Chains A and B, each alone.
Chain A
Amino acid sequence: MDKIKLKIDGREIQTEKGKTVLEAALENGIDIPVFCYHPCLKSIGACRICLVEIASPRGDQIVPWPKLAVSCATAATEGMEVQTHSEKVVKARQGVLEFILANHPLDCPTCDKGGECPLQDTTFKYGLDFSRFEERKRRFITDENSTFDDLQIGPEVIRNQNRCIHCYRCTRLVQERFFEQDLGHYQRGAFTEILPPPGGEIRNLYSGNVVEYCPVGALTNRDWRYKVRVWKTEEIPTICRYCSDGCNLHVSVFRNKIYRIQANTNWSIDEGLPCDIGRYGYQFAHHDDRLTRPMIRKDDELVECSWNEALTVIKNKIDQTVKSLGSSGVACLVGESLSNEDYYTIGRFFRSVIGTNSIDHRIYRKKKLSFGEDVVKRELCWNKLDIADLEKADQFFILGSDLHAENPITALRVLKAKRFSDARIMLLNPRPTHLNRAADEEHIYSAYSEVFLLQGLVRLIVEKKMYDPDKANIKDDEAKAFLKETADFDFKTVSEKTGIAPVDLETIARSLCEAENTIFISGENVRIHYQRDPILISLYNLAKLTGNLNGDASGILMLGGESNSKGCYLFGMRPDRLPYDKPFEQAEELKSSWGEIATDKPGYDTIDILQKINDEKIECGFLLGLDAADHYPDSEYINNTLSKLDFMVVADLFLTDTARLADVVLPISSHFESDGTFVNWEGVLQKFSKSIKNIGESMPLWEIFSKLSTMFDADFNFKTADDIFRHFAPMLGQESVSRMAAIPKDGLRSEKKIDYPDLGLMAVKYRKPSHEDLPLTALSGNGDHHFSRNFSTRCESLNNFLADPYIAINDKLAEDMTISEGDLIKLENSSGKIVAKALIWQNLPEDVVFVPDNFIEVKVSMIRSKDNDIDKVKMVKM
């Protein structure tokens, strides 16, 4: 970076070339007030509060500029001399402030922004204490009966136009960063109004951010307003519990109750722009459904009991099982959004106290995957990038991922790359996804034709020699062999199978070869795919062929998952790995603190655990923070299996479908009620802090298992989450971090830029999926503003965006079957049926239906069968 020198208020300062005068000043602790400026937005110089006086060198003279300049949009240049407090500047600044205040209602006492309002603060600091404005203030009357002129402009945003100072941060944010059009400005001049388009609402996935971006109380949250004054709340840092992006958030707590969540900017992850799910998704914490006491089954009914009673029963049952079946009679399945401290304690309990390795978290898969060496070797190259690296890419190849709904913050970086450096976005999915609003190309391929599509592209590139030989590193005989092996994947067949036109296939292939840096992203659709491994190998082939295996702006990302999916891997929630992803051979170190661990053979994974339950080889099952009955993609099988358990312990926040089947139900605390850590998909370990007292008698899992350990004479003696953290901290490999408090503010990032070896091209096989002979393929994913199950649907604000389940069908299909939007329709196959209202979705392929799988009322697992690779259904109008 080139450095330049300039003077601000007589002080000599240094900054990087390309920075603005404002940035140079702020970096050096020189205060210039701003309203419209925001580091995440392009400067437009609208509010004029940041005016400064500038002189710059011409020849050997310093020449004053004819006019004041806005520091937020003026580049700092060598030798510049800037005055931020000259007489002219002070007068102009006071003039601007006076103009802003002229028509501002100054209703601070009843304004929710009061106490954290940049307009208040700036006026306090720079303003005049009198006003020359004697005219009638401009008013936007929307409701004659209201003094406040509030207008609800979206499910969670309320607008009070009178207070608006027209900084356009809100509209710029929505349009520039979110690529949305649901907030704009209408009319002109002093009468400019901030509004959604006529008849519309602001309801994009990031809509809550406009409230934080508004420097006044013109935009407020429905959820938060008029409840508590900001100076009464305590702000406590936390991490979002939903997707695997790991946004940093702030909890506002007053008298042990959470009132709202705001961004807690982590520049390397969320840039202070969390999605609404993270923002409003706290409300489950205070939901009436929260379990407050342990429950135990008596006379076939769950009744509340004391912790002591519950734990004693558990202790006795474990002893009994171990006596009759050995420790392998006990197994444990966990959810993907518990803390690392939970996982560590759970792992220690089952492995060292009970002596079983049958621990797993992968409930989403129907069948075992090979995990062959080919995949494992290639697996190393996934997710080597950081979220911030996405900004540097020229192109994104997004396949089988509803990135917008699965990893909203990663999606925002993709959009940022597009906005600021014109990156290309190629979307390839079996159904339309909302990222298409910014995509350069969107291709909807026939469901489950991914292997054809990817291997077809690889073949096309090899066959037509489109690749750059320097990057591809492929020998002629290798290419020949590959072409021979993939003879079934000729251009025509691939086009037929995928439904993508030959010219489009060629364009995709060409763009892949032409771009400097491409990032390949896949998501949930691939994670749960029956041919996941061939897909990943083909992605690897594509990345290799186009020179994107290594580099700091290229690679393969396997996204999806939940807030601590990565933690599940790292902290041993798999039958074959120990904490910090150590193989059994490296158990010695752990044994010194854990005592004896059974490391002779791995435990059972999810698929085997369920099988062993059916074989009556496992009798005692623990389901921790996991609604397996709802989650496993075969409702009938999982329900039958779980009811075969002799003894079943469920720990959760709510009485889930799984909990209803349990013998003992333990109330666990949410992540707001304990300290702890999560690891996001990048591998960044981040800390959240306890912000409210435990609800009822609930306890975090680590505490439950620590207590339980004492009953087995193996007292873990974990009194706090930090006690646990201290135990595993040495494994993190960063000496300075031995306590939770030492985790850096923006998280603990591990070094992972290993160069990935080129393993050559590898042809994969397409396997025809097994399925029923029915017309429609049922796909599922997150519904708007929801994520996974049980939590987001217990948040009123999120339900304000989408409260009811639906079944989305293509418009033509609807017409053929005379179905109108809102009609009840039924999806049915030999596994079961689901009924919901129809939602008509143009562009959805005619042979596909989409069902959001967030709602407890409509379980997609009801129409899924573990015996079929893909679930086909027929549709009936009710």
Chain B
Amino acid sequence: MEKKVLFANIDDPKQPEIDTYISKGGYKSLEKVLKEMKPEDVIEEVKKSGIRGRGGAGFPAGMKWSFVPKDSPKPKYLVCNGDESEPGTCKDRVLMEHDPHLVVEGMAISAYAIGAGHAFIYIRGEFDYPASQMRKAIDQAYEKGYLGKNILGTGYNLEMIVHTGGGAYICGEETALLNSLEGKPGQTRIRPPFPAVEGLYASPTVVNNVETLSNVSLIIKNGGQWFSKIGTEKSTGTRIFCLSGHVKNPGNYELELGTPLSYLINDLGGGVIDGKKLKAIIPGGSSTPILKPEQIDTPLDFESVAQAGSMLGSGGVIVMHEDTDMVWVARTLAHFYMHESCGECTPCRQGTKWIYDTLTRITAGEGKMDDIDLLLDLCDNIDGKTICPLGDAAVIPIRSTIELFRPEYEHYIKNGKPLVENKFMSFV
């Protein structure tokens, strides 16, 4: 069901002001943490909540924090990932725009937990407004003494810095993000070493998504126990789903995990537009496999979506109706991944281009039957053989559309035109 936890104050136009935020009990969690809790206790509480990362991979946040070596002589860093570039995803933006202090407070608590003296928030280049909202909030927090030197007289120092990106999807991937933050080109790093051991400036670093960190102050305020009771046993809490595509009411909706997909699409989203038939659903951003209409009752939690053959991903739910040309969808997404491939590793750099070239030929009416197998084989030669998951992600829409809509490909190849006349503007 819809459950406004992160979004509790999202509609208050005054919420970005620090006074409003404080008047609603804001920064109390930070105070409590700094004055009453040891860093280990904070990590313990977050572990208890069971919260898993909201950036895409769903890694348990508390566990990630506990990987930071305690005895390292190097400084430690917290990085909040606000690069939000996964097609279909627009939730972090709303948090940064409308409740920036929730993000700041969450970051400050997390920084304290891992022993960081610097916290960065990396915001995608196009996010001018969210970045200015964050800057303003951070300035206010400094002014009120929630950031900076000797916070609230506790002796804890924390500097918080906003860094905007240059407009690359890959800079949302944590290691490319760290390179970019260091002023280097946005290419990824091979793991291990993992950022928790060797991240920013070769020092222990925790990277978490905006939504993940926003939850932290709520977890401290209400207790890990409280959080773990929301959602399902293994998928605790709520998530913000970004509903887009052929639905009547697109937008961001915060749901308790485990809520059926149909509730989001039909009850909240008002169902498919123009009375058309539902054709396909991408449940977690463009990098997740497509679900068929008959899977619409799948509960939105990590396990159920995985069981349905897809992933919860970044929460970007894209709905497509019967007039959608799925080969065109594949080509559009192929273009995205080709364009965004950082170019570091061979299979992704070359494979995404080859796939796109082939799909372009097919949609231009010059395809051959063998091309379908070629595409699948190219996918196979990329999948699992790249440095970062962008390569794996790039093959998902291709495989998924071939698997579920192969006749559309065959029709294109046989007849030189789509089975479903494409009604949408092609931008690539």
Q: Measuring CB to CB, which residues of chain A are less than 8 angstroms from any residue of chain B? A: 43-49, 51, 66-68, 70, 73, 91-92, 95-96, 98-100, 102-103, 132-136, 138, 165-166, 168, 184-185, 187-192
Query: A103–B350 contact, CB under 8 A?
Result: yes
**Given A67-B385, A103-B353, A190 contacting B343 (CB threshold 8 A):** yes
Known: A44-B190, A135-B361. A185 touches B343 (CB 8 A): yes
- With A95-B381, A188-B343 given, is the CB distance from A73 to B350 under 8 Å? no
Least CB separation from A67: chain B residue: B384
Listed by A's residue number, 20 A-B pairs whose Cβ atoms lie within 8 Å are A43-B190, A46-B345, A48-B345, A48-B347, A48-B386, A68-B385, A73-B190, A92-B385, A96-B347, A99-B381, A100-B346, A102-B350, A166-B344, A184-B185, A188-B170, A189-B339, A189-B340, A189-B341, A189-B349, A190-B353
| A44/B357 in contact, CB under 8 A | no
Q: Is B100 an interface residue (CB 8 A)?
A: no
Within 8 Å CB of A70, what residues of B?
Answer: 190
Is the C-beta of B208 less than 8 angstroms from some C-beta in chain A?
A: no
Determine whether the beta carbon of A190 is less than 8 Å from that of B338. Answer: yes
CB interface residues, B 346-366, toward A, < 8 Å: 346-347, 349-354, 357-358, 361
Instruction: Give the 3 A-B CB pairs with smallest separation, nearest first.
Output: A95-B381, A99-B350, A192-B343
Instruction: Pick the contact of A44: B340, B344, B361, B374 (CB < 8 A).
Output: B344
B168 interface residue (CB < 8 Å to A): yes
Binding site for A on B (CB under 8 A): 168, 170, 185, 189-190, 338-347, 349-354, 357-358, 361, 374, 380-381, 384-387
In angstroms, Cα B352 to Cα A139, docked, is 16
Complex CA distance for A96 and B387, rounded to whole angstroms: 13
Q: Which residues of chain B have C-beta atoms less than 8 A from A138's C-beta?
A: 353
Chain B residue with Cβ nearest A168: B344
Q: Is the CB of A188 within 8 A of B341?
A: yes
Nearest residue, chain B, Cβ from A165: B346
CA distance in complex: A92, B347 (Å): 10
Instruction: Let me know if A190 and B352 touch, CB within 8 A.
Output: yes
Given A67-B385, A189-B352, A190-B352, 20 more A-B residue pairs with CB atoms under 8 Å apart are A44-B344, A48-B386, A51-B385, A73-B190, A92-B381, A95-B381, A96-B346, A96-B381, A99-B349, A99-B351, A99-B354, A99-B381, A103-B353, A135-B354, A165-B346, A166-B343, A188-B343, A190-B338, A190-B353, A191-B343
**A73, B361: Cα distance in complex, Å:** 37
- Among residues of B, the one whose C-beta sits closest to the C-beta of A49 is B346
In the bound complex, residues from chain B placing their C-beta under 8 Å from that of A92 are: 381, 385
Pairwise interchain contact B381-A190, C-beta atoms closer than 8 A: no
A189 near B342 with CB under 8 A, answer yes
Q: Is the CB of B347 within 8 A of A99?
A: yes
Interface residue from A44, A100, A132, A168 paired with B189 (Cβ < 8 Å): A44
Interface residues of B, dominant DSSP: helix
A190 touches B342 (CB 8 A): no
Q: How far is the CB of B62 from chain A (nearest CB, A)?
A: 24
Q: In the complex, are the beta carbons of A135 and B343 less than 8 A apart?
A: no
B190 near A45 with CB under 8 A, answer: yes
Would A189 and B343 count as touching, CB distance under 8 A?
A: yes
Tell me, rounded to whole Å, the shortest Cβ–Cβ distance linking A408 to chain B: 26
Chain A: minimal CB distance from B167 (Å): 10
Interface of A is mostly: loop
Given A68-B384, A96-B385, A98-B381: A189 and B346 interface contact (C-beta under 8 Å): no
Q: Taking A43-B190, A96-B385, A99-B354 as contacts, is the C-beta distance between A192 and B349 under 8 angstroms? A: yes
B340/A95 in contact, CB under 8 A = no
The residues of B that contact A66 with a CB separation of less than 8 Å are 384
Closest A residue by C-beta to B361: A135
Verify A188–B351 contact, CB threshold 8 A: no
CB contact under 8 A between A188 and B353, given known A49-B346, A95-B347: no
Of A45, A49, A51, A99, chain B has the most CB atoms within 10 Å of the CB of A99
- Report the nearest B residue to A98, measured CB to CB: B381
- Interchain CA distance A100-B357 in the complex, whole Å: 15
Q: Report yes or no: A132 in contact with B374, Cβ–Cβ below 8 A.
A: yes
On chain A, the residues within 8 Å of B190 by CB distance are: 43-45, 70, 73
Listed residue (B345, B347, B350) with the most chain A CB atoms within 10 angstroms of its CB: B350
Whole-angstrom distance between the alpha carbons of A66 and B343 in the complex? Answer: 24
List the A side residues contacting B351 at CB < 8 Å: 99
Chain B residues contacting A132 (CB-CB under 8 Å) are: 374
What is the bound-complex CA distance between A546 and B374, given in angstroms? 68
Q: Are A95 and B385 in contact (CB under 8 A)?
A: yes
Known: A99-B351, A102-B354. A188 touches B345 (CB 8 A): no
Report chain B residues within 8 Å CB of A184. Answer: 185
Chain B residues within 8 Å of A165, by CB: 346
In the complex the two chains form, what is the Cα distance from A91 to B347 in whole Å?
13
Q: How far is the CA of A639 from the CA of B387 in the complex (A)?
A: 67
A166 to B189, CA, bound (A): 15
Q: Which of B340, B347, B361, B374 has most A Cβ within 10 Å?
A: B347
Q: State how many angstroms separate the Cβ of B197 from the closest Cβ of chain A.
A: 14
Q: Which residues of B contact A100 (CB under 8 A)?
A: 346, 350
**Residue from B339, B361, B386 in contact with A188 in the complex, judged by beta carbons closer than 8 Å:** B339
Report the minimal beta-carbon distance from A56 to chain B, rounded to whole angstroms: 14
In the bound complex, how far is the Cα of B357 from the Cα of A273, in angstroms?
Answer: 40
Decide yes or no: A48 and B385 within 8 Å by CB, A132-B374, A184-B185 being known contacts.
yes
A135-B357 in contact (CB<8A):
yes
Question: Which has the most chain B C-beta neighbours within 10 Å: A100, A166, A189?
Answer: A189
Instruction: Find chain A residues with CB under 8 A from B341 CB.
Output: 188-190
**Chain A residue, CB-CB nearest to B357:** A135
CA distance A66 to B384 in the complex (A): 9
CA A190 to CA B354, docked complex, whole Å = 10
Task: Tell me the minimal C-beta distance from B357 to chain A in angstroms.
Answer: 4
> What is the bound-complex CA distance between A107 and B141, given in angstroms?
61
Contact B354 A166 (CB under 8 A): no
Min CB distance A195 to B, Å, is 12
Closest chain A residue to B360 by CB distance? A135
Q: Which residues of A contact B381 (CB under 8 A)?
A: 91-92, 95-96, 98-99
> What residue of chain A has the Cβ atom nearest to residue B169's Cβ?
A188
A residues less than 8 Å from B340 (CB atoms): 188-189
